Structure 1
């Protein structure tokens, strides 16, 4: 019985704290956990990411991000080919197995294009730059912090939207109420339809002084259908 009352008191404290803390305050606490030295804005790093999915096997992607130089490169290895997509101050270079000579048919079949390179730059910079990317211009942080139970655990939840020219999805970020570590994020294209996905985050790897989730398991919001798992195998600072 004593443990029950301790548990009840903890839940009351979490609820009270969620009502007291603002969205921006919660974000600052999360940033203090993940990026205590404010290193993201000068981030220069390389990360090896392996994706496993039920229908597509394993894909290995090496990402290089140099934010001060506006440089991005992805090297994707899958099956028997290697695709390199490089954006250097938006100058785009594409290679297949080391060659820049790629037929239009092959480009179409393997989805090799500068537009896709830019999309992947935004994708990896956003997801692996969270929660720091929530400080970007155009992000709308809901001032009200919610308390939610997700997969049996209590979280402080931050809601974020975007100005029309930036994006249209609605995002929720789930933070541990004690450490402020980001452990789940979730997005909806149309929340009334329960579309979109949620991503379970586990383990941490430190790159350039930033704590980045190591494992990301992706699921559809609707019916909890499993999609894939990304594993950040290793990361290092770029010279």
Structure 2
């Protein structure tokens, strides 16, 4: 009886050890990260407002109000720094630009301040991508590499997911760093040419909950090549 009991106990221990030591695939890691950040799958119907302050060395803060309504394909950003306020509204295929309260903008002013619908869509893609991570990694054209690596970054161990994109979507190589216990996304970095160690890495700290989605409050940007500090986005 005792032998049978200890044999069963040993089998259970071996099973548990084997199961927990199995390596996650890239897709499995992504699913666990999304389960942590967006447990109720709310990103697809996201409709909310983000108030972001960007702090950069030697510049006044840039204060932005960002509205994203994914079901209606609506995006709006109002950004103010010094005496300039720019507003971009993108709704499906339409674009409206406002500069210091004026929509009738001369070509000269538009050129001097880099105002265009291309830039409006760039902001739309930028903010929707960054604040929609890691859920945005399920978008079409995203290539999730199957092998998950383990890496120590800034003194902490992470599970690292490599992501590239089909040529029609993008050319950068991205790495996403997840806490091995909670699967929270805490760092990501990208390279234009990894052999040159170019590109940047972003440290994510603190969290806030918007529409039941856990979103990092602070994003501090640094160069990969020399750890040079670029700035911090703070979600108010």
Fold in common (TM above 0.5): yes
The DSSP-based 3-state class of the residue aligned with 1:178 is coil
What are the equivalent positions in structure 2 for 1:7-156 lying under 5 Å apart? 17=21, 20-156=23-159
Name the residue aligned to 1:10. Answer: none
Does residue 178 of structure 1 match 2:181? yes
2:210 to 196, 207, 211: 207
1:185-227 Cα offsets, whole Å, 9 max, x none, are 0000000000000000000011111000000000000010000
> Is 1:226 the counterpart of 2:229 in the alignment?
yes
Q: In the alignment, what sits opposite 1:195? A: 198
How far apart are the structure 2 equivalents of 1:203 and 1:110? 33
Q: Which has the higher contact order (CA 8 A, sep 6+)?
A: 1
Contact 2:60 2:82 in 1 (8 A): no
Following the alignment from structure 1 to structure 2, what is the Cα–Cα distance between the partners of residues 93 and 86? 5
What is the alpha-carbon distance in structure 2 between the residues aligned to residue 92 and residue 55 of structure 1?
Answer: 32
| Count, aligned residues | 218
The alpha-carbon deviation at position 99 of structure 1 amounts to: 1.5
Q: Is contact 2:179–2:186 with CA below 8 Å preserved after alignment?
A: yes
Decide whether the 8 Å contact of 2:197 with 2:225 is kept in 1: yes
In the TM superposition, what is the alpha-carbon distance from 1:153 to its structure 2 partner?
0.2
> What's the offset of the Cα at 1:162?
0.3
Structure 1 residues 132-163: Cα deviation after superposition (integer angstroms, max 9, x where no partner): 00000100001000000000000000000000
Structure 1: gaps of 5 or more residues: 1-12, 234-239
Query: After TM superposition, what 4+ stretches of structure 1 lie above 6 angstroms from structure 2?
Result: none
TM-score (norm 1): 0.89
Larger CA Rg, structure 1 vs 2: 2
